[in-house]
Chain A
């Protein structure tokens, strides 16, 4: 989305008067208080997909300060309860706030709850509904949490995978990705899982290879990505497995044959 108000569609000046430019040029001096206007330290894509026995989700460890790759070891996958992983991209300070809310949610669920480890444990759908309410409430206060979130997990033996962002928009699909991943990872994942029927044909090994390929492509083409990343598998039988990995088997040898930008031969 373009955040410059001048490029938004507006009612005609003739009808409603000219746009008050003070609004776009607002500073904290001119107005008594101001909420988040832009993300500062950011995390890039989160990618995820379903397979026949669960869900996989991955995110790299970069925390960028604009184009400066400032923090290289930021964890962006959070395990909640024993069947949910939350992957967060966007502003890192807002992400850390959400991380804290998720921890509080686990503590609160244990309070006065005799079944906290069994039938009344936190489920992916509970976590997702909470985050959705939170994101929509904050955008409605004109003070959004600048993130795009993917909740992955297993519930009632079925795969759970849903997306919610800073505007409170939510949707679900057999494969989901945020940021650059939405442009480059989703086309790759949809070759395997184009619809819910396809999920049954995809085993863990195939799905994991697809996610590794996505992370490699994103490392090739996303200037705010890093080589190291976390990957979580939420399996119906074996539960949550979180691992640290690196992008491998890259192809760079062809680069030596490229010279100049057109006519140059040496």
Chain B
């Protein structure tokens, strides 16, 4: 009784027009640890909270560089993020080799969307179980994109995905006017770290679990991990 008959695969619509498998995939993002992205006119910052399985293990990497001008952070299934970031690396590389051109963020977003969308309309497959925050600086300036496995890609001023990300989102909404005008990367990072703090429950930020990345005008995509994040703690 009351069993859901419409969530067996991605090719089945429910009577109300929903794709349950896709919605379950979106749930997988909420299981992942939080990551925050925000941008000013000149820079984009990604801040991520890394998690470890137990005290003996390392912390799962959350931020991946795709090209000199582009990178992403993830929440959800890490293997799916590897597949998608590898695809983006290829596309960046292709654009660079064939056209001597940096792949634009808008184009990268569309490419990811199209790739994810294919997985939601054929039998046998599954949607990607990962959400991505895409950061980059291209010919049209700084961009921050949020990718969802449903195929939605949105361009935003600030975004947060993952467990308890609502806290960070609320903070970013509150101080948006402030960080949009920021001129230096360091200032923007501080806002990012502050936002991430609003997503914490038990743990505190440390050199082990904090990961930061910046990209912007005259600044290639750079990742700060371990000791390098001390100034921002």
Contact = CB atoms under 8 A, between A and B. Distances in A.
Nearest to B140: A119
Contact of A115 (B99, B101, B139): B139
Given A112-B107, A114-B106, A119 B99 contact: no
A118 B140 contact: yes
Interface in A10-51: none
A125 B140 contact: no
Interface in B68-115: 97-101, 104, 106-107, 110
A3 B15 CA distance: 71
A114 B104 CA distance: 10
B101 A113 contact: no
B99 A129 contact: yes
A40 B100 CA distance: 32
A130 B107 contact: no
A115 B107 CA distance: 10
B98 A133 contact: yes
Contacts of A125: 100-101
Contacts of B107: 112-113, 120
Interface in B109-144: 110, 138-141
A153 to B, nearest CB: 13
Contacts of A113: 104, 106-107
Given A112-B106, A113-B106, A115-B106, A120 B98 contact: no
A126 interface: yes
Contact of A129 (B101, B104, B106): B101
B139 A119 contact: yes
B104 A120 contact: yes
B99 A130 contact: yes
Contact of A126 (B100, B106, B140, B141): B100
Contacts of A129: 98-101
Interface in A103-148: 112-115, 118-120, 123, 125-126, 128-130, 133
Contacts of A120: 104, 106-107, 138-140
Contacts of B99: 126, 129-130
Interface in B4-63: none
Nearest to B100: A129
Contacts of B106: 112-115, 120
Nearest to A114: B106
Contact of B98 (A112, A118, A130): A130
A123 B104 CA distance: 14
Nearest to A120: B104
A120 B104 CA distance: 8
A118 B104 CA distance: 12
A108 to B, nearest CB: 10
16 contacts: A112-B106, A113-B104, A114-B106, A118-B140, A119-B139, A120-B106, A120-B140, A125-B100, A126-B99, A126-B101, A128-B100, A129-B98, A129-B101, A130-B98, A130-B99, A133-B98
Given A119-B140, A125-B101, A133-B98, 7 more contacts: A114-B106, A118-B140, A119-B139, A120-B106, A120-B139, A129-B98, A130-B98
